[in-house]
Structure 1
Amino acid sequence: MEKNLHKNAVQLDGTGNSGPPKFLSLKWKVLLLSSLILITIVVSFTGIIYVSLMDDFESQRNAQHRRYASEVEGLIDQISRNLHQSAELIPFLEGMGTGLLVHDGKNIAEAFDPYWAPMQLTKGFEVIRFYDNSNQLLASWGASESDTHDDVMLNWVRKVNAREQPVSPLSCRKSCMQFIVAPLLVEGNSVGVVVIGAPLVDAVLGFKDISGADIGLLIQEPGNTPKNNEKRIPSWDVRIAAHSREMNLAILDQAALQYPDFNQLEKGIQVFWENQYLQIKPLSLGKMNASDNAQFIVVTDITSTIHTIQSSTQRNMIIGLMGLILSELLLFVILSQPLSRLKHIVFTLPLLARSSFKNFRSELHSVGQKRWLKDEIDMLDETAAALSYQLEKLEDQVADRTAILARKMEELSKERDFITNLLDIAQVIVITQNADGEILTLNAHGETLIQYTEKELQGTQFLDLLALDGDLRDLPGHLEEVRSERRDQLRHEANVLCKDASVRHILWLHSRLTRHTEDDPAMLSVGLDMTEHKRTEGRLAWLADHDPLTDLFNRRRFQEELEQMLNLAARYRHSGALLFFDLDQFKYINDTSGHQAGDALLKMVARMLHGSIRSVDILGRLGGDEFAVILPQTTPEGAIEVAKNALACLNQGKIAINSRTHKASASVGIALFPEHGNNVHDLLAAADLAMYQAKEAGRGGWHLFSNEEKTRERMHTLVYWKEKIEYALLHERFLFYFQPIMHIPDKTIDHYEVLLRMLDDDGTILAPHFFIPAAEQTGLIHAIDHMVLRKSIAQSAEIQHRGHRVRFSINLSAHAFHDPELLPMLREAFTQYNADPSNFMFEITETAALEDLPAARKLMEMIRTLGCSFTLDDFGVGFSSFYYIRQLPIDVVKIDGSFIRNLADSPDDQILVKALCDVARGFGKKTTAEFVENAATLSILEEMQIDYAQGFLIGLPMPACDSPFKDFLQT
């Protein structure tokens, strides 16, 4: 039964996991814990005893070493006293007194020489020297090795001569010697100094007899090689100057191997040698100088002491382990029965978790017995049974309430998830504030936008985020009204200071929240980022009046300024002038060096013209390479002078592109107002005609318009071009050029724009701007439109019949929408050549649809029923583009090239093009970008998801004979 209960307990581990948990009985846990405690006590007790024994041992050894040091010093003092006694007897030796009195070294040598050998043998003298009162050496005996003491010895002599007091120094330069330096007295007078030195070998030998320990004298001599029988220890860099006879020098070699650092001997080291524990420790002697590099060491046998400590430690460990085992056995016997009963209860408890209340009580009662003396386990048994009754009652109540609660929790969970997801994905800043205006929470989009985390802003005043200016001085008071429930909502705009010091323009909406406690939020603040919108709005407003390349007034704004100036001149009867500039050979620069060179030249001309006119004059770019200047309140002479200055300034300008140098040059037409015109149209026409007169006169000059030549020149120009156009139509001197347009996503050529050129009599290829204005004024534009459409349809059909498909994009002039024959001609041509209308896309401009929008929309819808499509050209130049894209049946919009040329280097153009693309995509239109001249621009267009690209990077306009489909065209 217990096995089954244990299995039930294993199946429910309290965490909902089905795997069996690891189990260890409480009995074993108690035994393990008590064992760890007892082991810790035994080990600690043994360790304390061991440390105490070692401390006692060290204390005894230190005391013993102090005795050793005292004994060695006593031996050295004995040597010193013997030397002093010998020094006092020297003047009384036969013949010494006379020699010392006269300071005769020869007499001293002859008198003392017989005594030197006996003194070496009996007294152990190593060296003896005699000095006079002037510290001059008179005579000396001893080994040459003592010469190393000369400098130090001379200092001793000077000191003794000066004080007439003996000194007893110890010196260990090459060998350790005890010296006596004593004054020599003869007949009561000081006649000099005697220096006697004896080695410390006697002290070393005598120490063994006194203490029973081995002693050695070590002298540090780095790098010296041993001489004769001299013993050295290389790893310590020491020489053994003396040692007791019984000392085994191999012990020192063994110690040097184990302890290579000689400084480790300071605290004493232990060496195990031939079953003996030996301690090697230096003696600290006050008589030894640190400069002598000499050290006495004592080798002591500590084997018996170590064995005593080890035996005591082992005995304590054995006694402790035996006590541990007996304690564990006793504890095991005591805990077995109670813990077995407790284990049964524990393994029965899982039945309560499975709501098996009756089985639980049955298991408890079946094993329970009537006891006369109850203990805690009996009380636990009874309490568990009572608990089962109570749980059974509560479970019935919980079951009823759980069903209700589950439904409510599901609803709350859905609401919570919805709100959480809404805050995370909402592209607005969501902030909650307390009653003091401190920020409590911030959503994920807010963190990304202002670059502060929610944790960083918690406790920060909301107003600290804002850049308050004069218009927001009352904002703190209004926010306080919302937080204090005196106002429901507040709407305002303010700049927010981001973490990276950038500023973002935010539209804020603050709403009051219902509070139940003081910790609840008092206000909800929702912010919409208007930064890009404001920037784009400002850019669009600026572009409505300015040329994006040169930053000058565009044609529309310039005409408005000219109209205002004409009105002021008429009101106050002032005169003024209009200067019309047209650059010379600008097309040549574009063709040879590319549009980048042309743009650079236009920018340079704009700067130079701006610098050459007065501050009150108005400068604008009318389009292409045309500039104009309004000169208010000036005379004809003043206007001519300004024109001359401007031309002189332009003649100094030049640019170098691709190893080519281009100079700036222009022709200037001058028209006066109100003399040559009192409205914008007439005055511009007059200045334009004057400019052409300047060009015909040789370029780079100026011409003042006169009323006499107005009609004549205009008619001459129209007749000239009318004849050229009629001749070109008759003799097929119009040429087709094709420029490829690439589909950006898959990098394939999707279609080609058909471009018209005229072959002049001298072989020059003329661009459309030379003949199209005259064609429009003479009515020949319809013939040109029909010719282009018919030939394009025929060529498309020929390619289609050869098994290939090429799409063409054809420009329609503004006059095409007033041509009643256009639609019938298209139907007839598609039928005649059996061409597919879906291969044709017609490009129109705002100007084409401007005059009669309903008629243009009707004609476009009828043409689209044939299967053709339409492109709105020059999209974005004016605000009317957004109106036409909604009113006209447009399929593709072509973004004006002025926004594309400098796209890679102009963040403003990037913002504007992105906005134009988003607008077009919002209306379901595809987009084309023209003037794509480099890979960087193409990459940005691809990121903006623009559909088509056209420009020099994609391909130059090419004649039909050089086109990819040349083999499929009729010759």
Structure 2
Amino acid sequence: MTARRDFAEVVPQRNSTRDFLEALDAVSQLITDAGEDALARTLMVIGQAARAGAAALYRHQAGGLSAQHVAGWRGDVSLPADVAAKLARLDYRIYRDLHDTLSAGLMLERHVSELLPATQVMLGPIGLQHLLCVPLLDGGELVGFIALAYLDAPRRREAGEPRFLATLANYLALALVRHEAESRLRVNAQRLSTLVGATEDMVFELDGGGMVINVWSSHPALPSASLVGLPLDRAFPQDMAWALRQAMPRALASDGREQFEFTLPRLEGAIYCIGRLQAVPSENGNGRHLVALVRDVTELMREEARRRSMVETLDLLEEAVIELSADGRLSRVSAAWSQLRGGDESDPQSLGQPLSEFVHPDDHATLVRAYGEVLRSGEPVTVRFRLVRAVGEPVWLEAKLLPNWGADGLAQGLRGVLRDVTAAHLSEAHIRQLALYDGLTGLPNRVLLDDLLNQALARARRHGSRVALGFIDLDHFKQINDAFGHQAGDQVLATLARQIRSVLREEDVLARWGGDEFIVMLPDLPDLATLSNVAERLREIARQGVVLEGIETRPTISIGMAVYPDNADNAESLLRAADSTMYHAKAMGRNNVQFYGDIVHLKSIGREHMAIQTRLNHAVLGNELQVFYQPIVNARTGEVSSVEALARWHDDVAGWITPQLFIPMAEKLGLISELSEQITVQALTKLKGWRERGLKQQLALNVSRNLLFSPRFVKNLIATVEEYGLRPADVMIEVTESLALTDHARQSRHLRQLHEAGFRIAIDDFGTGYSSLSQLHDMPVDVLKVDLSFTARLNQEAGRRIMQAIVQMAHSLGMEVVVEGVETLDAARFLQGLGVEKMQGFHFSEPVPAGVCELHMQLGLDGKI
């Protein structure tokens, strides 16, 4: 009622009291009802009390540059739509006369003609004559104004009327400000309730005694009825209320948050909750209240239980599960990690360390590539590496790595499952070793060689370089196997492999082709001169001694070399060219190196090699081989003292085939025994005819190791000689040095039986085998045939000294000397001077048919001495 008394004091006497009281009632009602209708009614009462034609309320906008129309009463004023749109918002920068006066807290009352032009333009279309604007102030600040418009000139105002309007405006400003504050509070409360409700958390307020003051959000498991005004013991379940009671004193006594927990039993399963209490000032400022936030963590607890169960299950497995940061550091490991590392318990020292710290240094690059691939592609990658253990040898692990995705969709680290695959890896390595490497020598086999050769040829094509391929065959290897057994033969092969490997470059490849054959590949060959040097080193290193059962053997090798792209344009052709060249090396007397580029005729053999082997097989089975004879001459008289029977083969397709080619071929095909028997029969038949014609020369027969090893060889040979009416003294048996002396006990027995039967025994190719003086002294040997390789060096002083030493040694042992390969008169006369008894070679006669040889036997060759 105070407001009414104050208002009455300023009511003009000529206005009715009722009009002013209605205006006051309207403003008072506006305090509790700020709706649009209430504002319009209030403006109508104020306009009528002020005898205005229309009234409008404008609210000052934030920033102070404009005013927004809030409500209005048009009264007698007709307001066109376009004008109403302009009046909805007033820009103070245009209507400066309004802003300058009102912001100073003064009323603006003027005739329209007295206003600024912009204001006149705005109000002119309405037909207004007079304008009265009353400011609405809050703490001296302009918050809006009431505009009263007059169509006619207003009456003259009483002295108290401006004060009346100012007082009325103050009450209106107060009501508007209060309602706006309450509106903001309601909006904020609604926002808070919405935000809290969106979290599915229960948020409520308690006073110090435990009474529920506010509830902003509830929980489905809690009572749905209104809890405001209830004590917590009635508002909440017993377990929840008890937990709150326990936490409240601690929360009220401190400024921090107090946490509490409780469980709500339910038929479908317990609900687990965690709550926090925070002390806040009460609204009236008397005492402190508590705000509680309760969160349902049932799913989190269940998820944690599932995770713990999963971790426990993983700990039972042998596979280790790890998590890595983006830089490869261990952030989490399962129990199996420590077992892989060689421990039995957890390994906390590993956390924070790079995984690479526990990986074998040789596998670091592999692991880094796997990291990059996973982070780049986002796809799982499987990698294998060695894990260094705390104690013991490293273990092989197979790791499946996949990315850990972050909230931004980018990989923030890696996860991995590690499995011990040591046994499988070693098994695979063993299988790979068996599949790709030779079990005896450890060298690459044919399969791996084929892959390595194709890789080398591909690089050579790109870089324009050469690749050399050498086919290596161990000479007379079967004699070693036969003499000492296969275990000794394996020892020779393994030793030879090590010797050859020792003179090769790191990038060169030595492979075992099979049996006693090896292949050496020289990639990126700088020049052909290097190839010659390497080939000679291979030949020389192979002659290093190997001791077998106390006997030193010095094996030799035959090598055939071919070069890509000079001699072949692909791997198969290169292998074939090297193989053909190796056969030529054996045909040239073994223990030498031949190059495909130097042997023109081999370039046309190629695939015909197999055809020749087939035709040789038919020739032996069909008894088509012939016997030629080469005289052995008395060094003093020039008479032919004996003739050596030599096998010759004329092929219907290729013509005469050199024995240096078909004899090794027959050995490889297993035809050498049949071939030897045929030569023996033909030679003995011819010798019988010569004896019938009075020729006394001795026949020299070469005996193969197969025949000599045969248990019945001696008896069969004696019977055959007698069958042709001949005596053992008519025949000289020639065996190679390596054959005669490799198996001393066995061969000595056979040779002694032959010697006792009357056959003369000759050691052929002396100087190329494995003999020692003690063995030679014990053997029943009559003749020593010096190999032609020594005769070829008689033009050198060293060669002449070696020949002299051999002759002297043979004579001291009581042996007759036959020197092979005599091709010049000078050589023959030098050998005469040394006391050599007999000579053989092209200087006297090459191997000739029986008829020609018979003439030499009858006439002699004294003209050659």
The TM-score range, normalised by the shorter chain, is: 0.3 to 0.5
If the length of structure 1 is used for normalisation, what is the TM-score?
Answer: 0.30
More helix by share: 1
